[in-house]
């Protein structure tokens, strides 16, 4: 074989090896990014579930019945009886 031919074969061989390594790297990177995407989607789903749970909990804590219950039990409040009510009339100046 001539020197030119050996150089061409060597160049083609190096190109094939380089291309093969690029394919291996590309495949590996693609799999790693896919795994990262799946993990991010899983985290997103967990956060959505947590947000919905917190919204429901906030609604329950702010419900009128819950506020009335806390007022009665913890603050010892009650609806005033008619004899406890005082009406104040507005006077015109």
To 10 degrees, what angle do helices 64-73 and 3-62 make? 60
Tokens 């609806």, located at residue: 79
Residue 15's pLDDT band, with cuts at 50, 70 and 90, is very high
Q: What percent of the chain clears pLDDT 90, i.e. is strictly above it?
A: 60
Checking if the pLDDT of 11 tops 90, the result is yes
Give 24-60 pLDDT, tens digit per residue: 999 999 999 999 999 999 999 999 999 999 999 888 8
Rounded Cα distance, 69 and 60, in Å: 12
Average pLDDT over residues 64-90: 87
Among the listed residues 88, 87, 68, 86, the one whose alpha carbon sits nearest the alpha carbon of residue 78: 68
Domain ranges for the chain: 3-81
- The predicted model scores a pTM of 0.54
Checking if the pLDDT of 91 tops 90, the result is no
Tokens of 84: 């406890």
């Amino acid at each position: 074989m001539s020197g030119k031919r050996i150089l061409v074969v060597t160049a083609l061989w190096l190109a094939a090896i380089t291309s093969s390594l690029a394919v291996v790297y590309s495949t590996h990177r693609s799999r790693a990014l896919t795994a990262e995407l799946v993990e991010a989607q899983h985290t997103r789903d967990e956060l959505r579930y947590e947000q919905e749970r917190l919204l429901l909990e906030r609604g329950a804590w702010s419900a009128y019945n819950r506020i009335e219950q806390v007022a009665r039990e913890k603050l010892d409040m009650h609806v005033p009886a008619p004899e406890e009510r005082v009406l104040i009339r507005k006077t015109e100046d």
